[in-house]
Amino acid sequence: MPTYTYTLREIQAMLGISRGIASRLIAAGIVTPARGPRREFLFTFRDVVMLRTAHSLRAANIPGRRILRALARLKTSQGSEQPLSGVRIVAVGNEVVVREGNRQWHVESGQQLMDFNAQAGSTASATVAPLQRQAPTDSAAGWFRAACDLESASPAEAEAVYRQAIAADPDYLDAYLNLGCMLCDAKRYADAVDLYRNALARLPDEALVHFNLAVAQEDDGRRQEALASYERCIALQPDFADAHFNAARLHQELGDTRRAIRHFNRYRKLQPRA
């Protein structure tokens, strides 16, 4: 039976991982946290390994969608309970490769690879190390990495740098997600709502943005608006379990028992079986 020990804040403090990465892995079902007594997410040690791996690959400039595909395949191949301590996931060029003992394979294709120790200089083996502070650059990815580094030490600077990343690339999803979560943490819910609405003007079909918008609206006391955003999230991604859970809770609070039961039932069906 897995032990759910770590909160997201604790994982961020340990690893410096961005909330955007964590949210996308949860939405994709790659990590499946439990709910704590105050509705906070609680993660297993295996989840921590997955989150750190995703963070490291993102720092090595592996595209987010490729990271999700690779880790989903890795989870399937390894099994949900098998420990990952003997597995090392690295970026080789623009590909995700697993080293497990003497075996090396390409995650997405499953293809066995020849020994590439001789090419270690070209392998991003540092991807398993914590993200190092980097100076901002003119690229959105450079600004984004710098903002991630600044979050703990200087939130105000991090906000400015995230906004610079968005200015450099108005379609940069992770920058919107991280900055929005920062604004919510600072109880600047109206600012977060405005940010997510700007994101949706560019990325109208991103279910996770609709979900985060709903959370910000709910925290700001806009329950009807939040409910509409949860419903839009579900329309785009019907298996988004947490959107069903939150929609059910809001329907219940607003007195619509029938819709609350429907969403609660859907939420339960989407939960992984023990």
Instruction: Please tell me which residue, 8 or 184, carries the higher pLDDT value.
Output: 184
CA separation for the pair 140, 56 (Å, rounded): 18
Say which range, 49-53, 92-96, 196-200, 224-228, has the weakest mean pLDDT: 92-96
Q: What is the mean pLDDT of the chain?
A: 77
pLDDT (mean) for 64-68: 73
pLDDT (mean) for 52-78: 74
Answer whether 42's CB lies under 8 Å from 5's CB.
yes
- CA-to-CA separations, 144 to 31, 94, 147, in angstroms, rounded: 23, 19, 5
The architecture in CATH of the region 6-128 reads: Orthogonal Bundle (1.10)
CA separation for the pair 241, 238 (Å, rounded): 8
**Per-residue pLDDT reduced to its tens digit, 214-272:** 999 999 999 999 999 999 999 999 998 889 999 999 999 999 999 999 999 998 888 76
Q: What is the pLDDT of residue 44?
A: 84
Residue 23 has pLDDT above 70, yes or no: yes
Instruction: Please tell me which residue, 134 or 3, carries the higher pLDDT value.
Output: 3
**Per-residue pLDDT reduced to its tens digit, 92-147:** 666 676 665 556 656 555 565 555 443 443 333 323 333 333 444 568 888 888 88
Q: What is the pLDDT of residue 143?
A: 87
Identical topology for domains 6-128 and 170-270? no
Domain ranges of the chain: 6-128, 170-270
pLDDT (mean) for 42-60: 79
Global confidence as pTM: 0.59
CA separation for the pair 114, 252 (Å, rounded): 57
- pLDDT above 70 covers what percent of the chain? 73
Of 49-63, 96-110, 151-165, 183-197, which has the strongest mean pLDDT? 183-197
Q: Specify the fold of 170-270.
A: 1.25.40
**Per-residue pLDDT reduced to its tens digit, 176-193:** 998 998 898 888 999 999
